[in-house]
Amino acid sequence: MSIAQDWLGAGGLLSQRLVDFQARDEQLQMAEAVESALADDATLIVEAGTGTGKTFAYLAPALASGKRVLISTGTKALQDQLFRRDLPQLLSGAGVPLQIALLKGRANYLCLYRMDRARSLPAVQGNPALQQAVMAVEVFARHSDDGDLAPLEAQMERHPLLRPHITSTAENCLGSECPVFNDCHVAKARRKAIAAQMVVVNHHVLFSDYVIRQDGFGQLLGSVDAVIIDEAHQLPALAAQFFGIRVSSRQWRELARDSREAAREAGDVPGIEQQAEALEQAPAALDEVFEQLGAQRRSLVQFLALPGAPQALEAVRGQVMALFEALRPLEERNADFAALTARALDQLERLQQILDEPEGEQVRWVEPAERGGSLYATPLSVSEGFRQMVAAYPGAWILTSATLTAGLRFDHFVSQMGLESARTLALGSPFDYAAQARLWIPRDLPQPNDPQHSVQVAQLAASLSGVTEGGVLVLCTSHRALRD
């Protein structure tokens, strides 16, 4: 009898120990396929319909395998659900002692170095509400063991300027040169994840670790024996994002702000402060061009054809270059100036790559944001990049979702991800959709970043509630959407 049958079958371990557990044929089939792939270090792609119980179908054989496993899912909410509910429930039912860890992206952890500097910054001192928010974070810091900012999520949404002052980014983190590196919450979370038998991440962390490791810094993927990717239908779009290049108005303004703050702290480099202030203002003309797009994405060619776009973009590029030239002589002065110099150079190189990238293998496009926007060069195909990612970490790779096939075939997804040699398994749902459900797709909704999107979704939900006489569950992707 297989481990899957022992754990998930009728009369098995979980049916004996978990109240209301019901054995399901589809769940058992998936678990047996996962068990086999883990044993053979194979790549497996599984489409499992809603109601299959795919979480337990991959968790049970993963736990029983004794291997060190990384589990990646689509969102922070699903990540928390997996770590705080599903895994503890399964571990309790199985009676298996196991060290597990949760690892989020760095923007979800308090940066002690930036928090310590925040209250003395002019931008904070001149904003009483923001100053109070920073003080509240300081109180939180004294009582938080892991620095996870989830308890402050609502406060950070009320104060959008707060997060950049109390978290780090890949660009501005000082790494081991940071004076409080030994107490760094991000570093401690990563060390805990690397030491765990099973670690739960989201797809952004998964790809970030791979990209960083290519530069010699990532460690997470190299420490595990198997990777299980839930919500795998999101991979093609995310892979294109991480395997591509991006620059944005926000990055330029953050570089300017951090340079100005470093200059003021140094006290004897007024030229840096002047160049930083000039860079902070430089994207204004470009922002006006982005506003012409409304909420629509456009190709880079279309964007550059808009009045004033080439000149505005060149003005930003020139100001980043001017700041870089001003920072270069200070590169060896301290870790802050070294990091700022590297960031300025990186942004120059990325912008030049996007502008110079030949058409054919890359798609160059722009996307407006609430303030300004972003420029991208993303690969037309991510198959080779993902194939190399899998090959770089030999072991079992399990990819699963409820929606991976097209016309009941995996060909499209397999081709997209470069996984032609993978095993595949398609399982239906135990639900009778024809009798139990109706699918309604509204037409002509605004884009999700349009202020009217939430308004119209709420109106539709209210209409449906009237038709169904209640019993409506509305799932939102953010606290902001929920409030709206």
Report the 10 Å Cβ neighbour count for 306. 16
Cβ distance 132 to 138 under 8 Å?
no
How far is the C-alpha of 174 from the C-alpha of 355, rounded, in Å?
A: 29
CA proximity to 55, closest of 11, 14, 12, 97: 14
pLDDT under 50 in the chain at which residues? 214-217
* Lateral strand order in the sheet of 362-368: 245-248, 373-379, 362-368, 298-299
| pLDDT at residue 75 in the model | 87
Q: Which CATH architecture has domain 245-379?
A: Orthogonal Bundle (1.10)
CA proximity to 198, closest of 172, 166, 226: 226
Encoded amino acid at 330, one letter? L
CA proximity to 61, closest of 77, 40, 78: 40
Residue-wise pLDDT for 378-423, tens only, equals: 999 999 999 999 998 989 999 999 999 998 899 999 999 999 999 9
First CA to last CA distance, the chain: 52
| Residue ranges per structural domain of the chain | 110-166, 245-379, 440-483
How far is the C-alpha of 130 from the C-alpha of 136, rounded, in Å?
A: 10
> Which pair of structure tokens corresponds to residue 391?
């090959």
Cβ distance 105 to 170 under 8 Å?
no
Specify the pTM.
Answer: 0.86
For the residues of 149-160, what is the DSSP string, one character each? Answer: -GGGHHHHHH-T
- Torsional class of 471: left (φ above 0), alpha (ψ -120 to 50), beta (otherwise): left
Cβ distance 168 to 114 under 8 Å?
yes
Encoded amino acid at 101, one letter? A
How far is the C-alpha of 89 from the C-alpha of 35, rounded, in Å?
A: 20
Residue-wise pLDDT for 291-324, tens only, equals: 999 889 999 999 999 999 999 999 999 999 999 9
For the residues of 36-101, what is the DSSP string, one character each? Answer: HHHHHT-EEEEEE-TTS-HHHHHHHHHHHH---EEEEESSHHHHHHIIIIIHHHHHHHHT----EE
| pLDDT at residue 213 in the model | 66
Coil vs helix vs strand at 377: strand
| pLDDT at residue 216 in the model | 39
| pLDDT at residue 1 in the model | 60
> Which pair of structure tokens corresponds to residue 372?
């300004």
CA proximity to 245, closest of 104, 372, 344, 366: 366
